[in-house]
Homo-oligomer: A and B are copies of this chain.
Amino acid sequence: MSSRTQYNEKEECKGAQAPKTKVLRQFGPLLVAMVGLPGRGKSVLAKRLSRYLNYTGDKTRVYDISAYRRKHVKEYGSHEMFRADNLPAWRIRQKSFREALEDAAAWLQDSNNNVAILDGPNVSRGQRQEIYDLIYKQLGFRVMFIECVCEDPVLLERNFKEILRYSSDYRDMATEEALKDLTHKMAHYQAQYESPTLGSLWELPCPMVKILDDGDGGIIAHGVNGQKESKILAYISTPKQKQQTLYFSRHGESEYNVIGKIGGNARLSPRGRMYGKALAKHIHALNLPGLQVWTSTLQRTKETVAGIQAPQQHLPELDEIWSGECESLTYEELQERFPKELALRDREKLKYRYPQGESYIDVMCRLIPVLTQLECETNVLTISHQAVLRCVLGYFLETPPDEIPYIHVPLHTIIKLTLKGHSYSMETVKMAIDCVDTNRAKPLNCSENRTAAEALLTLPKHYDSLSNLNNLMSCT
C-alpha cells in the first residue's frame, strides 16, 4: 500500500447502499465474528488482530459482547446467568449480543471504517445466522467467522488464569471461588455450543477459519476470499507468543548525533561506544533465555551490539528513515537549503516524504514483516533508530498514527515491552552515560514564510564538531 491509499482515501463504494449483486463486495467493509467457548483465547486474538489491522491501514474496532452485558447487569453475580434455562438472563445476553452487533454494523456504515470484530462466544447457529443476515444480506458487507478451539489442558489452564487476572467479572472474587464459577460458566456454554462444521457442511456461504490450540495445533480455513480476509488469515495463522518480553534501544550516540546531522552511516562517538559496553553488561546480567539481537544494517547499530553474546541479524527493514536528498545535513543546513521542505515536514510529519526519500508511513509499511515476526518471538533485543523505533512503539502501544512521529525515544535508554493480557506495558531504563538530545519538538510556526530562528526554535543543542565533544570529555 502506498501512503496515498493507506490513510487518505477509500474506495467509493464503501458505506454506500447495499449493493444488489454479490460482485460489488470484494473491497468492502468486513465484520469478523469470533466463535468459541470462554477461555479459548478469543478476546486476546480479537484485540491483537485489531492492533495489526489498524496499523496496516484498515480502521478496526472490537465490539465486546460481554461489555454490553455488563451495562445491563452492573454487578456480576455468578455463572447462573449463563445457564441455557435461565430465561431472564438469556434475554439479557441476547439483547447484549444484538446491541453489540448493531453497533458494529452502524460503525461499518461510516465510510472511514473498514473492519469490526464482534468478540463473544456466538456459540449458536441462530446467532451466526443473525450476524450473517444483518451484515451480509441486509447491509451487503462481508462476513468472516473465526473459531478458537482449544483442547490442550496446559493452554486452557493458562487462559483461565489470564481471565481470572484480567476480567472485570472476577475483580472482586477470591481466586478459588472465581475458578469454580468460570468452570461452571464454561459448562453452560458447552451445553449450548453448536461448533461450526467445516467443508461442505459449514452452515454459511462465507469464510470460516478454525484456530486450533491458539495456533499451535494449526488452522483450518474454508472459503477464504477477499483481500482483508486473506490478510487476516496470514496474520492469525502464525502462532504468537503468549508471554513475551521485548527489548529495544537506539544505537549509542553517533558522531552525526554529536554534530546534529541526520541520516548517514556514521560510527559511534566515544560516549556511544561506552553505551554499547553498558548495554551489553545490562543485557548479559538479565540472563535472557534464547536471547536474539536484531539490528539495522547501519554500522552505528552493529557497533552498539558488538559486545553482546547472542545470535545477531542485521535487517534493512530496521534502517533509519531515508531522508533522500537531505541525508547527512544538520537541521540548520536543512533550513538553509530546503526551508520549504522543512516547513512541509513540520506541518505533516507522518505523511511527509523527503525528496527521493521516505515518509514515516513508508517506514511503518516496511516494518510490518519485522513487527509481526516480533510478535512470534520473545527476548529479542532490537537496536534501531529514532524514527524506526517510534513506529515500532506506535505499533505495540497502539499510538494514533499522527502522534507516532513525536514519540520520545531518547538515546542511551533501554525500552522493555512486556505482554500483559492483550496489551503491552512499557518500562524504560536510562543508562548513566551522557549523550546529546535529538528530539526536536514540533515548532509552533510551521508556515513556509517563518524565519530560520522560528524553524530552529525547538532544535536541541548539539556540538559543532566531534572534537568539541572530545575536548569536553577530556576536561571532565
Contact = CB atoms under 8 A, between A and B. Distances in A.
A171 to B, nearest CB: 36
Interface string A110-134: 0000000000000000000000000
A205 interface: no
A224 interface: yes
Given A4-B319, A5-B319, A225-B376, 8 more contacts: A1-B369, A2-B362, A9-B297, A198-B218, A218-B220, A220-B220, A233-B234, A233-B237
Given A19-B311, A362-B2, A230 B234 contact: yes
A219 B221 contact: yes
A378 to B, nearest CB: 11
Nearest to A292: B23
A5 B220 contact: no
B227 A218 contact: no
B239 A297 contact: no
A235 B231 CA distance: 9
Interface residues of A, number: 65
26 contacts: A2-B322, A2-B366, A4-B366, A5-B319, A5-B366, A11-B313, A11-B315, A11-B316, A11-B317, A12-B314, A13-B313, A19-B311, A20-B311, A23-B311, A24-B311, A24-B313, A27-B369, A199-B212, A199-B218, A218-B220, A218-B223, A224-B238, A226-B238, A227-B369, A233-B233, A353-B353
A113 to B, nearest CB: 16
A373 interface: yes
A6 to B, nearest CB: 8
A134 to B, nearest CB: 22
A26 interface: yes
Given A238-B225, A292-B23, A316 B5 contact: yes
Nearest to A364: B2
A36 to B, nearest CB: 18
A296 to B, nearest CB: 10
Question: How many protomers of this protein does the assembly include?
Answer: 2
Nearest to A20: B311
8 A-B pairs with the lowest CB-CB distances in the bound complex, closest first: A234-B234, A218-B222, A227-B369, A230-B234, A9-B316, A2-B366, A12-B314, A2-B362
A365 B1 contact: yes
Contact of A239 (B27, B225, B363): B225
Nearest to A231: B234
A356 interface: yes
A217 interface: yes
A243 interface: no
Contact of A365 (B2, B21, B319): B2
Contacts of A137: none
A307 interface: no
Contact of A373 (B26, B199, B297, B315): B26
Contacts of A212: 199
Nearest to A215: B224
A467 interface: no
A224 B217 CA distance: 10
A10 interface: yes
A183 interface: no
A314 B24 CA distance: 10
A400 interface: no
A326 to B, nearest CB: 13
**Of listed A21, A226, A239, A316, residue having the most chain B CB within 10 A:** A316
Interface in A186-218: 198-200, 212, 217-218
